[in-house]
């Protein structure tokens, strides 16, 4: 039976090793140089492909082990870089938040629609939202000059009204609360009432006569009617849509708050109360 292919390869390798050793021995004497030079040339031609194959086989293995040895240090360095990046992002986020709050505080000191009305600047300490109410709690109360019924404004306009006042805190009902109402005026002395729609709902404007001229984006302001619950001229909302249904007694109008109710970290309580009825 013929010998297995593996045995032939082994025999060939042994023969090549023997020839190589013989050539090295012969090459040690100068007298055999002319003889060995030819043999070495032949042996090199036979051995070179084998050597190249062995190198090609071992190189990826060597690279793998080298990479494995350095993997731990690379991973550690990557974790350090990720931590540094996270810290930088946090720092930028905090700086952006602080800048926003600073701009809000500066804006609250220069609200042109309040004129000379005195205010108390307060910080929001709690936000309460449910299917029925939308309120915030602020860190100023009766000892700071805040009382029930006082209007609360933000940088853009009306935010709400104080509905509960304690010694050092107060609760503010937001403009969007389903129970909130405020009389408004717009256009050519047109009056109406803005009603809060509750969480996720638009404001509605009631008591507007049918076919009243108006346009999208038109601003509504607190009215100056006698006995109004708010001082006149505070921006309240912008008209979003309007139409009149045939036969209806009033126009159907929706609006959006002018004040940014997502930025309520700081607010101004207006120290104003309606004049007592005669």
**pLDDT tens digit string along 53-101?**
544 544 555 555 555 556 667 777 777 777 777 777 776 666 665 666 6
| 41-45, 147-151, 168-172, 247-251: least confidently modelled range | 41-45
* Contact by Cβ (8 Å): 239, 216: yes
Answer with the residue of higher pLDDT: 225 or 23. 225
Average pLDDT value over all residues in the chain: 79
Q: Whole-prediction pTM value? A: 0.65
- Joined together, the tokens standing for residue 258 give 């002018």
Considering the chain, tell me which residue range(s) the CATH 2.40.10.340 domain(s) occupy: 117-278
> How sure is the predictor about 108, in pLDDT bands with cuts at 50, 70 and 90?
confident
Identify the H or E element spanning 99: helix 33-108
Answer with the residue of higher pLDDT: 50 or 147. 147
> How sure is the predictor about 35, in pLDDT bands with cuts at 50, 70 and 90?
very low
| 7-16, 42-51, 81-90, 261-270: least confidently modelled range | 42-51
Residue 146 confidence (pLDDT): 97
Q: Percentage of the chain with pLDDT > 70?
A: 67
* Contact by Cβ (8 Å): 134, 196: yes
Q: Has residue 20 got a pLDDT over 80? A: no
What number is the average pLDDT over the span 255-264?
93
**pLDDT tens digit string along 120-130?**
999 999 998 88
| 63-77, 98-112, 190-204, 223-237: least confidently modelled range | 63-77
CATH number of 117-278: 2.40.10.340
Residue with tokens 């009603």: 195
Residue 217's region, left for phi above 0, alpha for psi from -120 to 50, else beta, is: left
Cβ neighbours for 101, distance < 8 A, ≥ 6 positions apart: 265, 266
Residue 177 confidence (pLDDT): 95
Helix 33-108, helix 5-27: angle, nearest 10: 110
Residue 36 confidence (pLDDT): 47
- Joined together, the tokens standing for residue 235 give 């921006």
Residue 83 confidence (pLDDT): 76
Residue with tokens 């007694």: 249
């Amino acid at each position: 039976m013929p010998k297995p292919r593996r045995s032939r390869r082994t025999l060939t390798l042994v023969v090549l090793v023997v020839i190589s050793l013989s050539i090295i021995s012969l090459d040690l004497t100068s007298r055999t140089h002319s003889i060995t030079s030819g043999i070495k040339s032949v042996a090199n031609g036979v051995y070179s492909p084998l050597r190249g194959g062995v190198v090609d086989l071992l190189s990826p293995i060597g690279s793998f082990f080298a990479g494995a040895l350095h993997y731990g240090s690379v991973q550690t360095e990557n974790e350090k870089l990720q931590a540094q990046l996270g810290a930088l992002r946090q720092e930028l986020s905090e700086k952006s938040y602080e800048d926003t709050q600073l701009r809000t505080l500066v804006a609250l000191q220069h609200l042109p629609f309040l004129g000379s009305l005195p205010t108390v600047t307060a910080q929001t300490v709690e936000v309460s939202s449910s299917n029925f109410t939308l309120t915030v709690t602020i860190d100023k109360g009766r000892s700071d000059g805040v009382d029930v019924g006082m209007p609360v404004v933000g940088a853009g306009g009306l935010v709400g009204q104080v509905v509960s006042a304690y010694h050092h805190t107060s609760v503010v009902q937001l403009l969007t609360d389903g129970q909130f109402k405020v009389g408004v005026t717009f256009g050519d002395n047109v009056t109406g009432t803005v009603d809060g729609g509750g969480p996720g709902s638009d404001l509605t404007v009631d008591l507007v006569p049918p076919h009243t001229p108006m346009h999208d984006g038109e601003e509504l302001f607190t009215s100056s009617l006698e006995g109004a619950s708010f001082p006149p001229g505070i921006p309240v909302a912008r008209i979003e849509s309007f139409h009149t249904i045939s036969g209806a007694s009033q126009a159907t109008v929706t609006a959006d708050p002018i004040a940014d109710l997502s930025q309520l970290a700081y607010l101004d309580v207006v120290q104003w109360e309606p004049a007592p009825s005669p």
